[in-house]
Amino acid sequence: MKLPLAASLARFVSIACGMSIVVLACGRDGGGDRGVDEAEVPPVAEVAPMPDDAFADSARANMVDTRGVGIGAVILTAVGEGVTLRGALIGLPPGEHGFHIHETGSCEPPAFESAGDHLGAGEAAHGFDAPGGPHAGDLRNLMVAEDSTATVEQVAAGVSLSDGGVELLDDDGAAIVIHAQPDDYATQPSGASGDRIACGVIEG
């Protein structure tokens, strides 16, 4: 009886020691990692302030319909080769609609004429399929589902927020406009996309 019991005890102690070594080792490693992380994060007071002329890297357009009622927002983010537009909209007529960036940051319902022409209309023809096109503010048509919702997911390749070239956040701003009809990507000056049914001023 003695030998087997001693052997069992010895085995238990051996396992327990092994476990405690693992626990201690883990504890030591965890503490070490935390120490390194804390050392790499500077205190808030040491973070350099943003310079006054910093480029904007995101902007937002709160979209309204012809009654001036909010229908959602589009978030614009600067990417290497342009600006990404992402958003979720509601309350729109189902189907395909012309979708553009217009040249002035003003959306006066119900006609939204205050948004002006397409951004870049003076420098190019309108439409992805037109010779000499597209305008910097041309976008792909917005697809509105049967439940009147739409998801925006596009890249405007010919513009920047405030980083040179055709800027959205320049002195007179810019606006996102949704039209009643699809843009045929060819007819001048607006792809035969008809009335303006929603608009949102792009704000940095």
Where does this chain bind Cu ion (CB under 5 A)?
Answer: 100, 177
What minimum distance in Å lies between the beta carbon of 36 and Cu ion? 53
Closest CB to Cu ion among residues 78, 179? 179
Distances in whole angstroms, Cα of residue 24 to Cα of each of 31, 75, 128 = 11, 49, 65
What minimum distance in Å lies between the beta carbon of 50 and Cu ion? 33
Cis, bond preceding 4 (omega within 30 deg of 0): no
Closest CB to Cu ion among residues 136, 177? 177
Closest CB to Cu ion among residues 130, 177? 177
Closest CB to Cu ion among residues 53, 172? 172
What minimum distance in Å lies between the beta carbon of 160 and Cu ion? 20
Contact present, 96 and 182 (Cβ < 8 Å)? yes
DSSP H or E run through 40 = helix 2-40
Dist. CA 17–CA 24, nearest whole Å: 10
What minimum distance in Å lies between the beta carbon of 51 and Cu ion? 35
Contact present, 176 and 202 (Cβ < 8 Å)? yes
